[in-house]
Structure 1
Amino acid sequence: MTPADKPSDPYTVDVEPEAPSAKRRFHRGRRRAGELITDARRTPEQNLRSRERNYMVLQALRIPFILLSMLSAWYWDNWWLASLLFVVSIPLPWVAVMVGNGQGEKRDPRQKNVYKPAVARAEAHEMELDAKRRHALDSRQRDASPGVAIIDHDDE
């Protein structure tokens, strides 16, 4: 059956598959870089709150470890467990500080570094204009409001 003998179907396309090019074969063994499909990331404020929460949890764990150490030594007479719990409680403040001072979420290497100084200048200019407008409105309101009259009075 030749292509001329086939019924014409608008949904059928007779195309020969393309042979893979040499360039495509060369890259076949390498892993392709992933594409960013979303920019939904945690904000710096969310990162800070997360690190603060981890810091507080790690700092708060030190007291229960020390109390369990004392409990296991005195009431259960288990000195091995007491010493283990106490030794674990010693580096907890250091670990808490390291976690709290950490960088937080790492930058995605697929994200492009783009600095747009014109946008930064426009935002700074807009903020400056807003401050001037607020100052003008405040001064206009002070002038429009009835002022307090000061009367000097001398008792002579």
Structure 2
Amino acid sequence: MPAEPKPSRGFFRDASAEHAVLITEAAPSLDDQHRARVRRYTFIMAFRIPCLILAAVAYSAFENPLLSILIIAASVPLPWIAVLIANDRPPRTKDEPSRWDGRDNQIALESGHRKAVE
């Protein structure tokens, strides 16, 4: 009796139902983009609390307030940086078309004398 043919496992050798093959060039979904941005924000903000703890440890160990102030000053812009990075869009690909068509010097409305209704 001949062996039964095995079903195709997709492009990857270890492909299964859990690992679908990507067959489109579509951008990641908005949910995936949001999840990635939240991860980036959380990762950057996770450095803030250790910085404050490190400042306290440095002050108690070295009794140098300047070192502690420098560590705290380094943690001050972290929320701003985290928000800017998290709100950034995914990078453009080389295949993505440019929307600029070279009409930057054209006037949108014609200038001229028009009669006004009084």
TM-score, normalised via structure 2 length: 0.52
Task: Provide the residue aligned with 1:110 in structure 2.
Answer: 95
Matched AA of 1:63: I
Matched AA of 1:110: D
Cα root mean square deviation, aligned:
2.4
Name the one with the larger helix percent.
Answer: 1
The CA deviation string for residues 53-103 of structure 1, in whole angstroms up to 9 with x for no partner, is: 111122221111011011101223243432221111100111111122222
Task: Provide the residue aligned with 2:25 in structure 1.
Answer: 39
Question: Secondary structure of the equivalent of 1:108?
Answer: coil
Q: Which of residues 85, 93, 117 is equivalent to 1:99? A: 85
Unaligned ranges ≥5, structure 1:
1-37, 114-156
Alignment pair present for 1:82 and 2:68: yes
**How many angstroms apart in 2 are the aligned matches of 1:54 and 1:61?**
12
Q: CA deviation at 1:48?
A: 1.4
**How many angstroms apart in 1 are the aligned matches of 2:83 and 2:97?**
31
Alignment pair present for 1:71 and 2:57: yes
Alignment pair present for 1:54 and 2:45: no
Matched AA of 2:29: T
Unaligned ranges ≥5, structure 2:
1-23, 99-118
Q: How many residues align?
A: 75
Question: Secondary structure of the equivalent of 1:107?
Answer: coil
**How many angstroms apart in 1 are the aligned matches of 2:97 and 2:76?**
42
Matched AA of 2:79: P
The CA deviation string for residues 20-40 of structure 1, in whole angstroms up to 9 with x for no partner, is: xxxxxxxxxxxxxxxxxx727
Aligned-pair identity (%): 31
Task: Provide the residue aligned with 2:10 in structure 1.
Answer: none
**How many angstroms apart in 1 are the aligned matches of 2:41 and 2:97?**
31
**How many angstroms apart in 2 are the aligned matches of 1:47 and 1:85?**
32
